[in-house]
Amino acid sequence: MKMKTSERMKAFGASVFSELAAYKNAKISEGCEMIDLSIGSPDLPPPSFVRETLAFYASQPDTYGYSLKGTSEFHEAVAHYYKVEHGVSLNPREEVTCLMGSQDGLVHLPMAFANPGDLILVPDPGYTAYATGIAMAQAEPYFMPLRKENAFLPDLRAIPEDVAKRAVMMIINFPGNPVPALATDSFFAEVIEFAKRYDIIVVSDFAYSELYYDGHKPISFLSVPGAKEVGIEMNSLSKSYNMAGCRIGYACGNAQIIKVLNQFKSNLDYGVFLPIQKAAAAALTKGAAFCEESRKIYQSRRDLLIDGLASIGWKIERPKASMFVWAEIPKGWTSMDFAYALMDRAHVVVTPGQAFGPTGEGFVRIALVQDEAKLRQAISNIKESGIL
């Protein structure tokens, strides 16, 4: 049978992550012991009370029907979490909605608000799901470069007037993936003023809000005056509570945006499994001590990796947040060539920066998702490879 794909599929070629995984597997089949620091999937389990809650409710015979939407308990847990952690008051009925992970919202929201040809302002480098959502909406991205000399914050003043007038949405991500930068109150205030001036919806991707170090607690966009007038924040339990496979997150903020997102999602899915919502509510209301312990583990890994690589000649800026290290590579390499050389010569897998946008060239992303023994081995392998 002759099969024809849609024009839309042209935007969804094989990703660099698939290519790296295939190459890694080929190296493994050759007998190489690979250390994978490429994908941001937590290697640690969720809190025991979360697992116990999930197991209990999964054993109940009446929890297997459609949930259709977020439960009142889950919505109230999100509102409680925001009040305690960020001083933000949320109406759990109108300003919170349940997502199948934050990627669910990030990919689908552009289809609810953007028409073909509309512009969406995105960080460059930025999380690859942003490009997916924009392509699904048949909108166009306008890249906001994140550069070292500007503390990896976008320069809104550099956005041309005609671009700002065509833009319908801006996505921001602090602490970021792949760039683990932190925003400031003054930057968020500037974003809000810009959004009001041009009628732009702001989407704050806050998935790494609990992974921060040395006391540098990230600022919630919603905590800045005026934020709820222009935007929403999306978060996930994947990284903060190691619940990546559970696929649960939330969007909160502007009630009108939440209402439209709910309307759109009511045509797409039948909600998150009820026992997972129960477990997520427990995490949000009782998980503060767990998050503190998690931060200690990630900070120890961060310090081991940064200090170890510095000792062999690769000096990298120490991130203040997120589970990633954004590492500038030695001169003379492209990020893709350097990533493949690390796989070939050091048996270490990282992600080339160019996979996240043109401004990512010259960097690689390293995920802190292996234990300290593996990180020490990675440092040793890189040293022995002679690549630096």
Q: What is the pLDDT of residue 12?
A: 80
Q: Which residue has the tokens 């970021």?
A: 176
Answer with the residue of higher pLDDT: 284 or 41: 284
Q: Which residues contact 217 (CB under 8 A, 6 or more apart)?
A: none
86 and 209 housed in the same domain: yes
**249-253: strand order across its sheet:** 96-99, 249-253, 231-236, 201-205, 167-172, 119-124, 140-145
Q: Which residues on neighbouring strands pair with residue 235, listed in sequence order?
A: 250
Percent of the chain at pLDDT > 70 equals 99
Q: Which residue has the tokens 């120890």?
A: 300
Percent of the chain at pLDDT > 90 equals 94
CB burial of residue 239 (10 Å; 0-12, 13-18, 19+): buried
Comparing C-alpha atoms, which of 293, 277, 359, 314 is closest to residue 64? 277
Whether residue 18 is predicted with pLDDT greater than 90 in this model: the reply is no
Whether residue 15 is predicted with pLDDT greater than 80 in this model: the reply is no
Cα–Cα distance for residue pair 224/287, rounded to 1 Å: 24
Domain assignment present for residue 336? The answer is: yes
88 and 129 housed in the same domain: yes
Domain assignment present for residue 86? The answer is: yes
Q: What is the pLDDT of residue 153?
A: 97
Q: Which residues on neighbouring strands pair with residue 233, listed in sequence order?
A: 204, 252
279 and 343 housed in the same domain: no
- The domain of 274 spans 62-286
Question: Mean pLDDT, to the nearest integer, of 155-163?
Answer: 97
Instruction: Note the pLDDT tens digit of each residue in 206-238.
Output: 999 999 999 999 999 999 999 999 999 999 999
114 and 224 housed in the same domain: yes
Q: What is the CATH number of the domain that holds 20?
A: 3.90.1150.10
Q: What is the pLDDT of residue 332?
A: 94
Cα–Cα distance for residue pair 333/353, rounded to 1 Å: 12
217 and 366 housed in the same domain: no
Instruction: Note the pLDDT tens digit of each residue in 248-304.
Output: 999 999 999 999 999 999 999 999 999 999 999 999 999 999 999 999 999 999 999
Could you tell me the two tokens for 154?
A: 């976008």
Instruction: Note the pLDDT tens digit of each residue in 111-133.
Output: 999 999 999 999 999 999 999 99
Instruction: Note the pLDDT tens digit of each residue in 68-84.
Output: 999 999 999 999 999 99
248 and 323 housed in the same domain: no
Cα–Cα distance for residue pair 367/324, rounded to 1 Å: 5
109 and 75 housed in the same domain: yes
Element (H, E) at 99: strand 96-99
Comparing C-alpha atoms, which of 151, 106, 104, 142 is closest to residue 124? 142
pLDDT band at 52 (very low <50, low <70, confident <90, very high): very high
Whether residue 10 is predicted with pLDDT greater than 80 in this model: the reply is no
Could you tell me the two tokens for 61?
A: 């015979």
Cα–Cα distance for residue pair 101/85, rounded to 1 Å: 20
Cα–Cα distance for residue pair 209/240, rounded to 1 Å: 7
Domains in the chain, number: 2
Domain assignment present for residue 205? The answer is: yes
Q: What is the pLDDT of residue 343?
A: 97
Domain assignment present for residue 134? The answer is: yes
261 and 323 housed in the same domain: no
Comparing C-alpha atoms, which of 375, 363, 367, 376 is closest to residue 327? 363
Q: What is the pLDDT of residue 14?
A: 67
Instruction: Note the pLDDT tens digit of each residue in 320-337.
Output: 999 999 999 999 999 999
Instruction: Note the pLDDT tens digit of each residue in 162-214.
Output: 999 999 999 999 999 999 999 999 999 999 999 999 999 999 999 999 999 99
Cα–Cα distance for residue pair 17/127, rounded to 1 Å: 12
Cα–Cα distance for residue pair 247/306, rounded to 1 Å: 31
Q: What is the pLDDT of residue 6?
A: 85
Domain assignment present for residue 50? The answer is: no
Domain assignment present for residue 164? The answer is: yes
Cα–Cα distance for residue pair 180/212, rounded to 1 Å: 9
Cα–Cα distance for residue pair 385/170, rounded to 1 Å: 42
